[in-house]
Structure 1
């Protein structure tokens, strides 16, 4: 079954056209991540799916039913926000079960659903605590549990980890991935963090300026970007770009090469000066200014003692390179 289908969805706020002809299908049980820079429309798109904003045009279907005119509470969705949105005077048990209570569900059913969600999220020891007595990660788990108990057709996550520190983000990311596997639920997740997108998604939807740039699995997009924007957005450190040309191909072109595909080579085709060294323990990043003035990042696996100020040669395997035309579309190798 199709969990979600968007057909020619547009959204405008007055004269500002925010979403532009969005077409997307999410299959049942799929984990899809919307990713893109601030202002690209990803959160607006999530709100349109949820019914918190009306689409200006187009069709939104959830579980095979058109829901354009259906209020949020009747769409069969559950949403987890960046802010935990927990009631401070209610304990964990009551926060998780409040939505079902408001729907008039039987007390036994509410207890069963809350118990199941709390076991899944390791919250059994915290059911009697209020939000003020919880850590940020525990509060976010409660917010996720509140969504789980409703057994929705579609889970919507709007940057749920933004308020957590780095260690908690990683731990909660692992928990969300495990939750998806255990529930086999359909999930849509919005983030500006490409690491979250790469590690969580079955498929990534890359957005820019209200349009979908490319859709595919994380490694499909990483290895086969359709254009320079997708190539630069996915990958940490970001792809390097140099003014170079494919022989016998006219027009302005840009060479793209990922940091891990550059290597130190005394007689390499690129020469430059090391301006900064990031020693990360297992990896070393060299920031190099080329003789043409281009700033490049070289990712070396393992520890490296190259000092700041050193003149180095760099090279790469031609098979690892990408070329983009003046319109930033992929020129070579041709998109698979």
Structure 2
């Protein structure tokens, strides 16, 4: 079991409030991702769950048991950091089995547990190497394996892919998703990368300034954002925000995703000029500057030829539009 409940968690460093009353329930076996910009409090919240930081107020319950006063080692959880935190003088096998050794587990049981984890992570041929002989992706897999052998109630990941290159990030992301399916374990994952959040999470917790802005399944947040912050943060490229009055629409702001903004050389709702074009092969991103609405992004599938400073017309698909009031809250 690995159900987690946070009740009115706050955290202050001196006069600075970092976490401002977070309530959250993570179900047993759920993959929950904390996402938000730098400084939003996501890593601090994870460290509070781990016991590496004390909450200023509130309760942390693991399987219904309050664990606020328990040391990290007593909370039956394992944490994977972005820095790997491997001992350079130990082999892969010894790094992965160190916690079991320290807990007094027999050599035979420790070896069996590390072998199982190594098989899951394709680390078998590397077990007698030391961290300096491994690539960044291999080191991260060792760090994940070290967490697996402990068989914790809860896995905590703190931006584990941020030190990897793009190809390795994708490969390791797929690996983590597969592990979640195989282990049926509860996982909480912190990232600033909304693509990671969208592709891994059962539910996403969007944080800003120590406050939970919205919680929901990835496509729920994409298709039904509560405010302009969530609407702009979830989705890549991010949502366009246009002036509602100029479009004859209600509210202060109209949100249109780049794939729902049509571009034409002949006619449309309003004019603009091409500012930049990104040809990505499978899709083309055209950045258009409008005097009324500012810089907007148009997402086109396939290859398209537009030139910088070319005059174009844009037309939002109002059937796919979102409307927000002056405070940024969604109008429904």
Q: Deviations over 1:228-283 (max 9, x none)?
A: 0000001111111111138585xx60111010101123321121000111000010
Change (3 A) 1:83 1:248: closer
Deviation at 1:2, TM superposition (A): 6.1
Q: Over residues 185-240 of structure 1, what are the superposed CA-to-partner deviations in whole Å (9 max), with x where a residue is unaligned?
A: 00000000000000000000000000000000000000000000000001111111
- Other-structure match for 1:315: 315
SS in 2 for 1:308: coil
Q: For 1:117-160, what per-residue CA distance to the aligned partner results, in whole angstroms no more than 9, with x for missing partners?
A: 00000000000000000000000000000000000000000000
Which shifted more, 46-55 or 312-321?
A: 312-321
Mapped partners of 2:211, 2:291: distance in 1 = 37
**Secondary structure of 2:3's match?**
strand
Taking the aligned partners of 1:278 and 1:316, their CA distance within structure 2 comes to 20
Distance in 1, Cα, partners of 2:115 & 2:68: 34
Whether the aligned pair in 2 keeps the contact of 1:2 and 1:64 (CA below 8 Å) is no
Aligned residues: 330
What is residue 11 of structure 1 aligned with on the other side? 11
Distance 1:278 1:230 in 2: 25
Q: Is the 8 A contact 2:243 2:292 kept in 1?
A: no
Q: 2:97 aligned with 1:97, yes or no? A: yes
Does structure 2 conserve the Cα–Cα contact (< 8 Å) formed by 1:242 and 1:256? yes
Q: Determine helix, strand or coil for the equivalent of 1:52.
A: coil
Which residue pairs with 2:303 in the alignment?
Answer: 303
Match of 1:44 in 2: 44
Partner of 2:227: 227
> Deviation at 1:316?
2.3
- The answer for the alignment partner of 2:111 in structure 1 is 111
* Alignment correspondent of 1:193: 193
Structure-1 residue corresponding to 2:183: 183
User: Any conservation in 2 of the 1:2–1:25 contact (CA below 8 Å)?
Assistant: no
Q: How many Å apart are 1:106 and its aligned residue?
A: 1.3
Deviation, 1:3, is 1.0
Corresponding residue number in structure 2 for 1:270: 270
Q: Contact 2:157–2:190 at 8 Å: present in 1 too?
A: yes
Task: Give the corresponding residue for 2:131.
Answer: 131
Say what the alpha-carbon RMSD is for the aligned residues. 1.2
After TM superposition, the structure 1 = structure 2 runs for residues 245-260 of structure 1, keeping only pairs within 5 Å, are 245=245, 249=250, 253-260=252-259
Counterpart CA distance in 1 for 2:291 and 2:268 is 13
Higher mean displacement: 193-202 or 314-323: 314-323
Native 8 Å contact 2:242 2:255 kept in 1: yes
How much does 1:169 deviate? Answer: 0.4
Name stretches of at least 5 consecutive residues in structure 2 with no aligned partner.
Answer: none
The aligned runs of 1:150-165 (5 Å cut-off) are 150-165=150-165
TM-aligned CA distance change 1:248 to 1:322, over 3 Å = closer
Contact 2:2 2:29 in 1 (8 A): no
Residue aligned with 1:207, SS: strand
Determine the C-alpha separation between the residues in 1 that align with 2:4 and 2:293.
47
TM-score where L is the length of structure 1: 0.96
Moved over 2 A (4+): 245-249
The CA distance in 2 between the partners of 1:145 and 1:16, in whole Å, is: 37
TM-score by length of structure 2 reads 0.97
- Specify the SS of the correspondent of 2:237: coil
SS at match of 1:292: coil
Compute the displacement of 1:48 (Å).
0.2
1: CA distance, partners of 2:52 / 2:275? 48
State the match for 2:66 in structure 1. Answer: 66
